[in-house]
């Protein structure tokens, strides 16, 4: 008797998640979910690869490329860790735009602009670079060897700068606040 209730609840959650997430580039920003089985093992899937999860016996995952995978085992729950309802890490589109930062804690202000194609520009030092999203933060590599990271820290943003010869895993050369000058409404 409990299994049909769990399947109905999981179906409702999945449908709610599918409807609530905007379809414009949702897969690129967030969009993963985890099927947790009663025996404790977990299966992580992205919404970019899954068309739907059929929970009616025999339960199966239908992928967008057309193949079907039978779900072996009883599902305990489906978790949407990256959904808009959780404290998700920002996606790529979060960082696109113009950011006001400082050279150092007391240094002059300058601007970093992150483009959707991965190009980066700044108004201080070497003006060109490239950026990518890694673990929810924008990592920027400048042509002069410097590296910057813009990341969300609580309700604010910060810029960490790494001088030439240091990597993103090293201690930053300086840390300052970062302000998005072109915030986008969600």
pLDDT at position 22: 41
Q: What percent of the chain has pLDDT over 90?
A: 36
pLDDT above 90 for 146: yes
Quick check: pTM over 0.85? Answer: no
Confidence class of residue 27 from pLDDT cuts 50, 70 and 90?
A: very low
Order across the sheet with 75-79: list the strands: 42-46, 32-37, 75-79
Q: Which helix (H) or strand (E) holds 152?
A: strand 147-153
- Torsion over CA: 28, 183, 146, 127 (sign): positive
pLDDT at position 96: 93
Q: What percent of the chain has pLDDT over 70?
A: 76
pLDDT above 90 for 61: no
Top pLDDT among 162 and 80 is at 162
Query: In this structure, what DSSP letter does residue 73 have?
Result: S
Provide mean pLDDT across the span 85-94. Answer: 67
Q: Cα 56 vs. chain centroid, distance in angstroms?
A: 31
Q: Strands 137-142, 128-134: parallel, antiparallel or unpaired by DSSP?
A: antiparallel
CATH 1.10.238 fits 92-180, yes or no: no
pLDDT at position 73: 78
Nearest of 124, 161, 122 to residue 139 by alpha carbon: 161
pLDDT at position 24: 38
Spans of all domains in the chain = 2-79, 92-180
> Where is average pLDDT lowest: 16-20, 26-30, 152-156?
26-30
On average, the pLDDT of the chain sits at 79
Provide mean pLDDT across the span 27-49. Answer: 70
Confidence class of residue 142 from pLDDT cuts 50, 70 and 90?
A: very high
Angle, CA of 87, 99 and 89, to the nearest 5°? 15
pLDDT above 90 for 109: yes
């Amino acid at each position: 008797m409990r299994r049909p209730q769990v399947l109905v609840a999981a179906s409702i959650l999945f449908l709610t998640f599918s409807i609530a997430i905007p379809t414009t580039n949702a897969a690129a920003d967030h969009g993963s979910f985890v099927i947790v089985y009663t025996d404790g093992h977990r299966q992580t899937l992205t919404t970019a690869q899954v068309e739907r999860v059929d929970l009616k016996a025999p339960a199966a995952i239908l992928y967008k490329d057309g193949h079907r995978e039978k779900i072996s085992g009883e599902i305990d729950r489906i978790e949407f860790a990256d959904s808009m309802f959780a404290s998700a890490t920002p996606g790529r589109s979060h960082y696109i735009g113009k950011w006001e930062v400082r050279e150092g804690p007391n240094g002059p202000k300058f601007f970093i602009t992150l483009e959707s194609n991965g190009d980066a520009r700044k108004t201080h030092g070497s003006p060109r670079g490239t950026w990518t999203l890694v673990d929810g933060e924008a990592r920027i590599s400048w042509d002069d060897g410097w590296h910057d990271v813009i990341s969300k820290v609580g309700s604010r943003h910060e810029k960490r700068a790494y001088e030439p010869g240091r990597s993103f895993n090293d201690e930053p050369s300086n840390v300052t606040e970062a302000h998005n000058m072109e915030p986008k409404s969600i």
